[in-house]
């Protein structure tokens, strides 16, 4: 994804994913480049939580607009603090501008203009040396400022006011042309205006549902994510949404390499020089600069040999393989959905709030539709699905306590009312399962190990302990090899090394020989290609590509571009991937 799809071949060589394609022939990447918009609460949230994705896209010349919702004055000027709050607002903006100019490799010079949106004006700054890099400031009060019209948590209160009866005044100087009292409706309209101006194809936002087991998040972060989602829905166009973990990043293993971490630290240092409240030695800031994680990793099971699925603007879309090639996308509805999907038993499983839901797609008279079913409530994690003993579809999820629960579909297609708790502790996003007639094996990463369960009956599972020697720093990918043996691929905690282990009988070991070509992205599960690597994809991709078989020795590599479109590379029986082609 942004800053993302980095392919590693033979565990070492890293190359950027590239190569755009057309329906029947490759097309120039210049015909439609992705545009990114970050919607954040404070002027350092993107630098801390969305990089290196952010810095790579700016460094590569991509179009980037960042919208900062609050003035981020905090408690400046409230005793015993003596700093002028308006001066602090200006200083934080200057720090963000310095960081962006450095990421773009141009001088720190900006042009300022007012953008009209309904009854308000938004302050828009354009980087002179890179006009496709912009910063927009709404100036709403910080959630920790008791002086605001609405008191503390002003941004969260605005979002909760569905009728837009309340308003919050911007933190601006006397006579400022940007002094307004924003309602909820004003905020959403302003974001839609900026989306339309930028032509954004991907929106990055903060954590919409922070994991309550770990460090508590800022109410402004959660409200900013909610506003971003509302704006995308109101905009009405297909947009890719990517959410990032925030404060609780520091509760997870380090997953950035030395070079990426050093770059992130250097860029953040340019901002920090303008923020008097940051202690350079603070452990939390140092920890955030060594990590980047998605709230909803997209996983590896979003495609089959003939269909692919993705969540765009909160709705489920599908692409499908026909006699004349890959077609789509077609909407299957169902929103608002989290972007992590699992495909199994002819169904697509997704997370909708605290519910696991399932869509059964159907093509009739050239039109796609889906029958939606609610599988169960109480889910905090993305679904994982597999087909096991007796051909039954089984769905796993994580609850708020960090334990794993399971439901098994009955022979008639119904689902039981209650989840069966498999227990486990500290389970993270990124579970993986392998199915088959011999039964399902489920693998659940924690922050220190991988837990394993084996299917013993139609809906019976036995805990098999922790997979020995595995310290996961990423979500997992799992397959059965040609001998039917479960094989796990993962990024090792505290490093960028991708490792693979295989179960033979009840013994785990590293397969002999070197691990072949692998799709790899920080924060996602590494995916072996089964042989050679496809050509580079000329635009950033979202999540890791999926590898799906469609015949003896044949396969597709499928990639969701940051432009919201699907790209396909076919592999022949000679183990060679062809050019990427645009589906549809």
pLDDT score, position 552: 74
pLDDT score, position 329: 97
Asked whether the bond before 374 is cis by omega within 30 degrees of 0, the reply is: no
Mean pLDDT value of segment 226-255: 97
Three-state secondary structure string covering 549-578: EEECCEEEEEEEECCCCEEEEEECCCCCEC
Mean pLDDT value of segment 179-197: 98
CA dihedral 505, 525, 530, 575 (to 10 degrees): 170
Asked whether the bond before 80 is cis by omega within 30 degrees of 0, the reply is: yes
DSSP string over 365-425: TTEEEEEEEEEES---S--EEEE-GGG-EEEEEE-TTS-EEEEE--TTS---SSPEEEE-S
Beta carbons of 425 and 465 less than 8 angstroms apart: no
Q: Domains in the chain, please, with CATH?
A: 35-200+202-238+256-288 (3.40.50), 307-582 (2.130.10)
Among the residue ranges 32-36, 117-121, 152-156, 333-337, the one predicted with the least confidence is 32-36
Q: How confident is the model at residue 512 (pLDDT cuts 50, 70, 90)?
A: confident
Asked if residue 130 has pLDDT above 90, the reply is yes
Q: Are strands 307-312 and 315-322 parallel, antiparallel or unpaired?
A: antiparallel
Q: How confident is the model at residue 573 (pLDDT cuts 50, 70, 90)?
A: confident
pLDDT tens for 244-253 read 999 999 999 9
Q: Angle formed by the axes of helices 184-198 and 219-235, to 10°?
A: 60
CA 326 – CA 582 distance, rounded (Å) = 8
Q: Where are the beta strands (DSSP E) in 431-493?
A: 432-434, 441-445, 450-457, 460-466, 477-480, 486-491
CA atoms within a 13 Å half-sphere pointing along the CA-CB vector of 37: 26
CA 482 – CA 221 distance, rounded (Å) = 46
Mean pLDDT over the full length of the chain: 91
pLDDT score, position 4: 36
Among the residue ranges 24-33, 154-163, 313-322, 440-449, the one predicted with the least confidence is 24-33
Beta carbons of 411 and 389 less than 8 angstroms apart: no
pTM of the entire predicted model: 0.93
pLDDT score, position 281: 64
CA atoms within a 13 Å half-sphere pointing along the CA-CB vector of 139: 22
pLDDT score, position 56: 95
CA 361 – CA 384 distance, rounded (Å) = 18
């Amino acid at each position: 994804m942004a800053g993302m799809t980095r392919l590693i071949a033979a565990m070492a060589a890293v190359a950027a994913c590239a190569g755009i394609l057309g329906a029947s022939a490759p097309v120039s990447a210049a015909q439609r480049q992705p545009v990114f918009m970050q919607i954040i609460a404070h002027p350092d949230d993107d630098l801390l939580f969305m990089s290196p994705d952010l810095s790579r896209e700016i460094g590569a010349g991509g179009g980037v607009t960042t919208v900062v919702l609050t003035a981020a004055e905090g408690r400046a000027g409230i005793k015993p603090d003596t700093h002028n709050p308006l001066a602090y607002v200006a200083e934080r903006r200057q720090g963000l501008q310095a960081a962006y100019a450095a990421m773009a490799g141009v001088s720190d010079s900006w042009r300022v203009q007012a953008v009209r949106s309904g009854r308000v004006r938004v302050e828009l700054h354009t980087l002179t040396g890179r006009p496709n890099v912009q910063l927009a400031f709404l100036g709403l009060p910080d959630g920790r400022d008791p002086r605001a019209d609405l008191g503390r948590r002003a941004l969260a209160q605005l979002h909760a006011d569905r009728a837009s009866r309340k308003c919050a005044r911007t933190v601006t100087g006397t006579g400022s042309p940007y002094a307004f009292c924003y309602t909820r409706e004003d905020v959403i309209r302003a974001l839609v205006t900026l989306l339309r101006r930028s032509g954004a194809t991907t929106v990055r936002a903060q954590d919409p549902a922070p994991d309550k087991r770990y460090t508590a998040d800022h109410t402004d972060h959660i409200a900013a994510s909610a506003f971003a989602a509302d704006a995308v829905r109101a905009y009405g166009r297909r947009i890719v949404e990517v959410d990032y973990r925030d404060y609780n990043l520091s509760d997870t293993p380090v997953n950035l390499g030395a070079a990426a971490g050093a770059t992130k630290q250097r860029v953040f240092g340019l901002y920090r020089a303008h923020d008097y409240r940051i202690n350079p030695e603070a452990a939390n800031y140092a920890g955030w600069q060594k990590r980047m994680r998605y709230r909803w990793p997209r996983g590896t099971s979003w495609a089959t040999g003939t269909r692919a699925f993705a969540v765009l603007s909160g709705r489920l879309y599908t692409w499908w393989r026909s006699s004349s090639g890959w077609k789509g996308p077609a909407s299957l509805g169902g929103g608002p959905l989290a972007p992590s999907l699992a495909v199994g038993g002819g169904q697509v499983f997704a997370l909708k709030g605290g519910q696991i839901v399932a869509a059964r797609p159907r093509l009739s008279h050239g039109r796609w539709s889906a029958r939606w079913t609610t599988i169960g409530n109480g889910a905090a994690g993305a679904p994982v699905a597999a087909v096991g003993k007796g051909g039954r579809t089984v769905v796993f999820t994580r609850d708020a306590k960090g334990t794993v629960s399971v439901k098994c579909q009955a022979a008639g297609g119904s689902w039981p009312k209650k989840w069966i708790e498999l227990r486990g502790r500290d389970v993270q996003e990124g579970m993986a399962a392998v199915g088959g007639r011999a039964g399902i094996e489920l693998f659940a990463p924690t922050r220190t190990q991988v837990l394993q369960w084996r299917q013993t009956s139609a809906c019976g599972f036995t805990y098999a302990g922790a997979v020995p020697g595995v310290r996961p720093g990423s979500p997992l990918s799992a397959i059965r090899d040609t001998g039917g043996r479960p094989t796990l691929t993962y990024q090792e905690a505290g490093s960028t090394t991708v490792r693979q282990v295989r179960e033979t009988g009840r013994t785990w070991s590293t397969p002999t020989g070197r691990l072949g070509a692998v799709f790899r992205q920080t924060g996602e599960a590494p995916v072996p290609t089964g042989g050679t690597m496809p050509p580079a994809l000329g635009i950033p991709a979202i999540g890791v590509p999926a590898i799906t078989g469609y015949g003896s020795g044949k396969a597709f590599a499928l990639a969701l571009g940051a432009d919201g479109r699907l790209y396909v590379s076919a592999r022949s029986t000679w183990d060679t991937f062809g050019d990427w082609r645009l589906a549809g």
